[in-house]
Structure 1
Amino acid sequence: MGPLTLAVDTKTSSNPHLDATILKMQKSKPFASINAQEDKPFDFLRILFEGVIAGGTSGVVVETALYPIDTIKTRLQAARGGGKIMLKGLYSGLAGNLAGVLPASALFVGVYEPTKQKLLKMFPENLSAVAHLTAGAVGGIAASFIRVPTEVVKQRMQTGQFTSAPDAVRLIVSKEGFKGFYAGYGSFLLRDLPFDAIQFCIYEQLRIGYRVAAQRELNDPENAVIGAFAGALTGAITTPLDVIKTRLMVQGSASANQYKGIIDCVSTVVREEGPSALLKGIGPRVLWIGIGGSIFFGVLERTKRLLAQRRPVSDQQPNPKQD
């Protein structure tokens, strides 16, 4: 369906107030033609490149700022019973983790952005949430091949099993083989695919609603607040999945009472520690992801905007349906 066009002869109109109102509506970005760019070729490489840069930047900033909270969350989830949580070495494994976070975040957003925009062109506007959910899941699958090995090394260092990333890599390979880097892969997907899909869908839908209500583009603080809400809510919902993922990843191949898989892990944790154990670390997790969502989406939108300003003038007109 083409854009609604209001044709008014401003030279002969007898109502200058009506002319001014129509002109203001035509210039308003949230109500700009949704189809303004549909006739232009889909610039996959440009969208991919901008997504990679924005995603990598956002991921590194968030991970560096909030790594200690993530370490506390991991130790809470990995501890059995009421063991004490050590507060030393809260930045243990950060350098090695950044080596994985940078490409993983870059790959996620690099895949998410073009996938989202392609799907938004295919689906009717009232199904934009489906496009956002699907794009989030697709981006999560692509990034998981980097995320999982990074997460395995990081969490085993956070729980004190290794003192350095090189030692962790060497010992995991020698004791468990290459597959050791993908310990808990199934549980990771079980947690991260819903998480990525839900978080980005909530964020995108809230932004769309806010922009329509405000009739303007969002500023950085507004993007940050929406990102914090989307992150905190999604983090709370997916905490049980995160606990199971952590238990499977940190146990290694030689642990006593090793969990045999996702179902065995859930049943064992509930039987031995009670259902409440599935919510271990929910406080640090919600805090970490809420603040992280604020920083991530704030940096992401700012970086995307800076990159957009470097495009040719003809390509800078925003498409509200695709943001």
Structure 2
Amino acid sequence: GKQNCFCLSLILSLLSLAGVCVDLILFPLDTVKTRLQSPQGFRKAGGFRGIYAGVPSTAIGSFPNAAAFFITYENVKSVLHHGSASYLTPATHMVAASLGEVVACLIRVPSEVIKQRAQVSPSSSTLRILSHTLYHEGIQGLYRGYKSTVLREIPFSLVQFPLWESLKDLWSWKQGHVVDSWQSAVCGAFAGGFAAAVTTPLDVAKTRIMLAKAGSSNASGNVLAALGGIWRTQGLSGLFAGVVPRMAAISLGGFIFLGTYEKTRQLLL
């Protein structure tokens, strides 16, 4: 009852804090990725200059975003686990992760829009970009790319979380006892890196949609149209722009984040 509830909220706070740290440590990789994916190309978007442009937006959005995801994930999981057969476990994890993303994106998308726009115009402040976006596009400007973010996150979660859980199960079975938190972290890094690579084209489409000039075709938020445009103009290399920094960031992120997740769960539950 009460104690369990307290433990869960403590876990969520620690996790969300881990999420913030991961986002801030790996921010330069994210900036490089955004600039590689931007329509104007890496050099014109700022190259290696102002590598922390847009960081205030991430700093503010990161904690509530991670908390929203895990609160939804844990709650949905416990509701669905109630009375469902064990072979349905991967499916319940998938549903829980997907719903977690839909909720978390309500917070993530506005902070991501501002962050990405700041990353490709490092001379403007985050505040200026925020007011410019609100003035010219209103609240819906902040939610530009909501659909494409959810469309990127859900396949990502559907690959990452079940893969993470099965790698842990496999390793536990191989060694005859449950994995340690460092092993869980290694599984998290693998699962994250693989999921990141496979979903890169969706990530590029999302970047193009968020950075598109108001009124341009990409600004409408159509993911398939954006993917088609990138494929026609830049081919496969365009669709996988920024795949290396994306994989690196998410592998490291998965290592730190999912390792922390496992450790706090072992300590408290």
Structure-2-length-normalised TM-score: 0.90
Cα pair 1:81 1:273 within 8 Å, conserved: no
Provide, for residues 143-185 of structure 1, a one-character-per-residue CA deviation record: whole Å limited to 9, x for no partner: 0100100110111111116622222221111011010001111
How many angstroms apart in 2 are the aligned matches of 1:201 and 1:44? 25
The one of 203, 207, 216 equivalent to 2:177 is: 216
Match of 1:32 in 2: none
The one of 232, 240, 244 equivalent to 2:193 is: 232
The aligned amino acid for 2:252 is: I
How many angstroms apart in 2 are the aligned matches of 1:123 and 1:154? 41
Cα pair 1:50 1:110 within 8 Å, conserved: no
Match of 1:106 in 2: 67
RMSD: 2.3
Higher relative helix content: 2
Match of 2:245 in 1: 284
Unpaired segments of 5 or more residues in structure 2? none
How many angstroms apart in 1 are the aligned matches of 2:42 and 2:234? 10
Task: Assess, with a 3 A threshold, how the Cα gap between structure 1 residues 131 and 235 changes in structure 2: closer, same or farther.
Answer: same
Number of residue pairs matched by the alignment:
267
Aligned-residue identity in percent: 34
The aligned amino acid for 1:226 is: C
The aligned amino acid for 2:200 is: T
The one of 49, 73, 95 equivalent to 2:9 is: 49
Unpaired segments of 5 or more residues in structure 1? 1-40, 309-315, 317-323
Matched, 1:248 2:248: no
Task: Assess, with a 3 A threshold, how the Cα gap between structure 1 residues 161 and 263 changes in structure 2: closer, same or farther.
Answer: farther
Cα pair 1:269 1:278 within 8 Å, conserved: yes
How far off its partner does 1:81 sit? 6.2
Max radius of gyration: which structure?
1
How many angstroms apart in 1 are the aligned matches of 2:41 and 2:125? 27
Structure 1 SS opposite 2:62: helix
Cα pair 1:152 1:181 within 8 Å, conserved: yes
Cα pair 2:24 2:58 within 8 Å, conserved: no
How many angstroms apart in 2 are the aligned matches of 1:148 and 1:141? 10
Cα pair 1:71 1:158 within 8 Å, conserved: yes
Cα pair 1:74 1:159 within 8 Å, conserved: yes
Structure-1-length-normalised TM-score: 0.76
Matched, 1:295 2:263: no
Cα pair 1:61 1:296 within 8 Å, conserved: no
How far off its partner does 1:133 sit? 0.9
How many angstroms apart in 2 are the aligned matches of 1:96 and 1:120? 36
